Structure 1
């Protein structure tokens, strides 16, 4: 029997689609000789996979019903009835609508997390007789929301301040005595960010008794799986950037510029079975390895057009 090679080709090179788009493409075959088959089927699938963290497995039976995979797309198309593929190159073209016909009646954005994954893919299966193993090929593609305008509230600057006083509620009596005196101020340029633009802002060390070793900004995903009867909520790091290395001059405004990684972030998503949220941790490490941090809850959206930049004097 000769060789049979095939691949799924999408018309859009970037493989990015919106809900209600038509998925156009073809399956290309290359055969060294005429090849018999028992049918060629193309499957379209969109699915949300939910996974419990190890710390919650076995705690609540209700979890197991609420973390079942959620089907967003499920369709199939017969490209060819049983027959033969001629020697050489042949193509089978297809058109499939990207429409969610049942609950939740929306196609969520593609997202690759730790406990939650939203994936879309095409699978082509060439069926063979009982002596020959069926052959499959897959092709993943991305689904994104259509951009929407951000509201005026999203443009509000979010100021912050770190000092021993602001950390007193989370510190023990021993920590209060050993805590160096310092004041660090700054801002995030807005409360809502577009997933295609960087998170920006600035930070200034007003004064500090102890030398600073490092200032870092950490992007965190907060994934919640489950329902009202019981849920699993886990925060995991996506990426960390260093804003400053070594001691920082007082009164010097340092810029914050954190680029959001594609696929590992998506617009903030809240559903009845799962949630995908994002937070920022500002971490200041002193030379004595004493660490203080500030947490910010942020909202990510997919907005239309470039966001206006805030005026900053950082780096001047």
Structure 2
């Protein structure tokens, strides 16, 4: 006895305002009586702070409530009946449109973060009366902005130049690095389309200490407003290695990073929460000190790391 949902699009990606079409598929060994067959869609923003924020976790669970974006249902069969044995397909379709709630008339794209998740779920329920458990199936939609609200004209690129030296670091670098010359320069686009790679370039102009690797970190900053307090959490979404080993000096190294769709969404800066992004350039040096820490976080300042973090605005274009 199985029930499943299948959509007309295999990638399950839909834009606001489009029609979602699909079918409920049931496979039974014998006829099954039902009271109703209902298809429903819910879209919610779930807010919570997981481990790592001490002193406020307990209060957050009682204060932060999910934000409803979409909530609609449709009866495919409103009166009692029977589903025959074998395979049965029941077609459905509905328009994907947002509902304006008091205080929240924003539409948000599908997103899965550490503390914030934006999810759209289709559910099919076959109710069978009081003595039988209802049969149900759930499937997630990947929802994006409607084409009318997307940026039509190309945004002027925000090309940001950067320099990394021993003077730009907040922690004490290795003595031999501080006594010699170290400089990494480059440029990177800090306005990035969600459908395009994050690009740029960098040059190691000089380094008194051999370089072990150069990495680009994509960081996500999730902030939640609870009462009069804003709780923020920064996490590493993706690490892309630009260079391995002691690279040649004065050679241009390209930066090319593809953004993971479900873990990244257009930057959100309003409402009871915000989702922002940053890009960090991290240079690791060959050092005996690093052997004392076989497992370490590139985001955490260490004496054998030099880094620079820049804000990154993510948007969507046609």
User: TM-score scaled by structure 2?
Assistant: 0.86
Answer whether contact 2:128 2:134 (CA < 8 A) is retained.
Answer: yes
Tell me the CA shift for residue 152 of structure 1: 4.3
Answer whether contact 1:36 1:84 (CA < 8 A) is retained.
Answer: yes
Change (3 A) 1:44 1:156: closer
- Number of the residue aligned with 1:49: 46
After TM superposition, the structure 1 stretch with the greater mean CA deviation from structure 2, 211-220 or 129-138, is 129-138
- Output the CA distance in 2 between the equivalents of 1:199 and 1:68: 34
Q: For structure 1, list consecutive stretches of 5 or more residues without a partner in the other structure.
A: 305-316
- Number of the residue aligned with 1:161: 163
After TM superposition, the structure 1 stretch with the greater mean CA deviation from structure 2, 261-270 or 7-16, is 7-16
2:213 counterpart of 1:214:
yes
- Output the CA distance in 2 between the equivalents of 1:65 and 1:271: 22
Cα RMSD for the two superposed structures: 2.2
Tell me the CA shift for residue 102 of structure 1: 2.2
Answer whether contact 1:186 1:201 (CA < 8 A) is retained.
Answer: yes
- Output the CA distance in 2 between the equivalents of 1:277 and 1:287: 32
Number of matched pairs: 296
Tell me the CA shift for residue 12 of structure 1: 2.2
Cα-to-partner distance string for 1:150-169 (whole Å, 9 max, x where unaligned): 5543x1321111112233xx
- Number of the residue aligned with 1:84: 82
- Number of the residue aligned with 1:300: 314
Tell me the CA shift for residue 279 of structure 1: 0.6
- Output the CA distance in 2 between the equivalents of 1:23 and 1:57: 43
Tell me the CA shift for residue 52 of structure 1: 1.3
Tell me the CA shift for residue 149 of structure 1: 3.3
Aligned counterpart in structure 2 of residue 26 of structure 1, from 19, 23, 31: 23
- Output the CA distance in 2 between the equivalents of 1:64 and 1:127: 32
Answer whether contact 1:268 1:276 (CA < 8 A) is retained.
Answer: yes
After the TM superposition, which residues 5-154 of structure 1 pair with which residues of structure 2 at under 5 Å, given as runs? 5-56=2-53, 58-59=55-56, 63-64=60-61, 67-80=64-77, 81-103=79-101, 104-145=104-145, 146=147, 147-149=150-152, 152-153=155-156
User: TM-score scaled by structure 1?
Assistant: 0.86
- Number of the residue aligned with 1:287: 286
Answer whether contact 2:217 2:238 (CA < 8 A) is retained.
Answer: yes
Change (3 A) 1:55 1:38: same
Answer whether contact 2:206 2:249 (CA < 8 A) is retained.
Answer: yes
- Output the CA distance in 1 between the equivalents of 2:42 and 2:82: 27
Answer whether contact 1:53 1:232 (CA < 8 A) is retained.
Answer: no
Tell me the CA shift for residue 47 of structure 1: 0.8
Tell me the CA shift for residue 66 of structure 1: 5.4
After the TM superposition, which residues 213-252 of structure 1 pair with which residues of structure 2 at under 5 Å, given as runs? 213-227=212-226, 229-252=228-251
SS of aligned partner of 1:260: coil
After the TM superposition, which residues 164-179 of structure 1 pair with which residues of structure 2 at under 5 Å, given as runs? 164-167=166-169, 170-171=170-171, 179=178
SS of aligned partner of 1:270: coil
Change (3 A) 1:59 1:280: same
- Output the CA distance in 1 between the equivalents of 2:62 and 2:229: 10
- Output the CA distance in 1 between the equivalents of 2:67 and 2:203: 46
